[in-house]
Amino acid sequence: MAYKLLLLPGDGIGPEVMVQALSIIRWLQDHRDLDVELDKDLVGGASLAVHEVPIRDEVIEKAKEADAVLFGSVGDPKWKDVSFDRRPEVAILRLRKDLGLYANLRPVRLFDPLLSASALKPEVVKGLDLMIVRETVGGVYFGEPRGIETLPDGTRKGVNTEVYTTPEIERVARVAFEMARLRDGRVCSVEKCNVMESGLLWKEVVTDLHRRDYQDVELSHMLADNCAMQLVRAPRQFDVIVTGNLFGDILSDLASMLTGSLGMLPSATLGSDNGSGKRAALYEPIHGSAPDIAGKGIANPLAQILSLAMLLRYSLQRTGDADLIEMAVTRVLEDGLRTADIATKGEAMVSTEEMGQAVVKKMSELA
Ligand code: NAD
């Protein structure tokens, strides 16, 4: 039976990079028997312009029925004055909420030809390949009570509350252990159990789950402040890092800079199994709609293409196709192709289209 894929290109450079991912899907259909039913729809500013909402209920329903969603990016300065609940970015927030996407996966991989693009010394980052699994629907961003109140003495108090329950911790830790089984078999769980009860519970629940179901995976624990330091000092020590919403937000942004460019980084957000063995899943580059370069044909399509590779690996179990795409990307970079964001001074630059088509051609050569 054909897999159902929903493509949501969105705004700015989203549609430009999505075209390149689509040509890889077409190649896989023609040459590797990939059986997919494709659907495409509008989100973000593109949807506002036609339907007056950033995302329609109908699109949410299609996303729920799909085996996976490949998302571009949303955000368009044209809509900056609309009310907060109608902004283009609401599209991705609603998808995450309505599909119950609670685990964000960010692989941080440094392709050898881009060693010089990293902010760190080559000997520290060469061969870097780690994954951060961040809890995304709980923790301090959502906990109650929250708010700002004025105290009797006229001073004000701001409150946010870090809350995690056993099932919330367990389900994201499960994702991390499963990921580790597909990688190097090591999970580092990160919290602040020295000063936070929620961190203490986090550590206990992860340890307990590990003892029950994942003894084949190596588990270690680290305090979040130490983890930030270790990511800069010796990032290659990590395989999979699992952490809560706030620490994950900060650590994953820090880690993304180890590789140099936003245009290279894919991500996945996974939800629960819907009971029929199908897990809600959305794949997207970590970058936004980049309005400063939209329409110029110079965006780097590799983050979108690598998001497609993740989709094939984790939602369609097409490991061979995912490996082929990642290998083709490495080879194209080794051949010296660079879009503007990853070019160093004096290097020749290629367009979005040239980079995307070079990956397709390389896949043909490697297959
Ligand atoms: P951005 O990621 O769009 O751009 C930051 C910088 O990186 C820009 O200079 C941009 O040109 C560059 N860049 C980003 N992707 C690139 C690529 N593939 N190739 C080459 N250069 C690239 O972040 P921003 O400027 O803060 O946000 C722009 C809009 O995107 C905003 O409306 C924001 O809300 C939205 N946004 C959406 C998502 C999403 O859809 N998930 C994520 C982040 C930001």
Cα–Cα distance, 247 to 131 (Å, whole number): 14
Structure tokens, 158: 């701001």
Asked whether the beta carbons of 188 and 220 are under 8 A apart, the reply is yes
Catalytically active residues, by annotation:
141, 192, 225, 249, 253
Query: Residue 206 has what pLDDT?
Result: 98
Query: Residue 229 has what pLDDT?
Result: 98
- Backbone φ, ψ for residue 215 (5° rounding): -65, -20
Can you say whether the dihedral through the CA atoms of 123, 126, 130, 136 is positive or negative? positive
CA angle 133-66-362, nearest 5°? 70
Q: For a substitution probing ligand 1, which of 13, 48, 261, 262 has the most ligand atoms within 8 Å of its CB?
A: 262
Measured from CB, residues less than 6 Å from any atom of ligand 1 are 13, 73-75, 89, 92, 262-263, 284, 287-293, 299-300, 303, 341
Asked whether the beta carbons of 177 and 189 are under 8 A apart, the reply is no
Cα–Cα distance, 175 to 268 (Å, whole number): 12
Whether omega for the bond prior to residue 145 falls within 30 degrees of 0, making it cis, is yes
Residue 353: CB atoms within 10 Å: 15
CA angle 347-331-111, nearest 5°? 75
- Cα 290 to ligand 1 centre (Å): 4
Closest CA relative to residue 63, chosen from 362, 279, 312, 340: 279
Query: Residue 194 has what pLDDT?
Result: 98
Residue whose CA lies nearest to ligand 1 atom number 1 = 288
- CB burial readout 11-46, b (16+ within 10 A) else e: bbbbbbbbbbbbbbbebbeeeeebebebbebbbbbb
Structure tokens, 145: 């009570």
Residue 158: CB atoms within 10 Å: 8
Cα end-to-end span (Å), the chain: 24
- Backbone φ, ψ for residue 321 (5° rounding): -65, -40
Cα–Cα distance, 40 to 29 (Å, whole number): 17
Residue whose CA lies nearest to ligand 1 atom number 23 = 288
**3 state DSSP class of 238:** coil
Reading phi first (left if > 0) and then psi (alpha if -120 to 50, else beta), residue 331 is in: alpha
Task: Output the DSSP codes for 49-87.
Answer: HHHSSSS-HHHHHHHHHSSEEEEEE---GGGTTS-GGGS
Query: Residue 261 has what pLDDT?
Result: 79
Q: For a substitution probing ligand 1, which of 82, 97, 287, 304 has the most ligand atoms within 8 Å of its CB?
A: 287
What string of pLDDT tens digits covers the 367 residues of the chain? Answer: 899 999 999 999 999 999 999 999 999 999 999 999 999 999 999 999 999 999 999 999 999 999 999 999 999 999 989 998 899 999 998 999 899 999 999 999 999 889 887 889 999 999 999 999 999 999 998 899 999 999 999 999 999 999 999 999 999 999 999 999 999 999 999 999 999 999 999 999 999 999 999 999 999 999 999 999 999 999 999 999 999 999 999 999 899 889 877 899 999 999 987 677 788 999 999 999 999 999 999 999 999 999 999 999 999 999 999 999 999 999 999 999 999 999 888 888 999 999 999 999 999 999 9
**Residue 285 CA, closest ligand 1 atom number:** 41
Query: Residue 212 has what pLDDT?
Result: 98
**Residue 300 CA, closest ligand 1 atom number:** 19
- Cα 4 to ligand 1 centre (Å): 28
Query: Residue 135 has what pLDDT?
Result: 96
Residue whose CA lies nearest to ligand 1 atom number 44 = 288
Q: For a substitution probing ligand 1, which of 55, 269, 289 has the most ligand atoms within 8 Å of its CB?
A: 289
Classify strands 156-159 and 147-150 as parallel, antiparallel or unpaired: antiparallel
Closest CA relative to residue 125, chosen from 50, 223, 237, 21: 237
Task: Output the DSSP codes for 253-305.
Answer: HHHHTTSS-GGG-EEEEEEEE-SSSPEEEEEEESS---TTTTTTT----HHHH
**3 state DSSP class of 134:** strand
Query: Residue 139 has what pLDDT?
Result: 94
Cα–Cα distance, 68 to 78 (Å, whole number): 29
- CB burial readout 52-76, b (16+ within 10 A) else e: ebbbbeebbebbbebbbbbbbbbbb
Residue whose CA lies nearest to ligand 1 atom number 43 = 288
Q: How far is CA 125 from the centre of its chain?
A: 20
- Cα 86 to ligand 1 centre (Å): 19
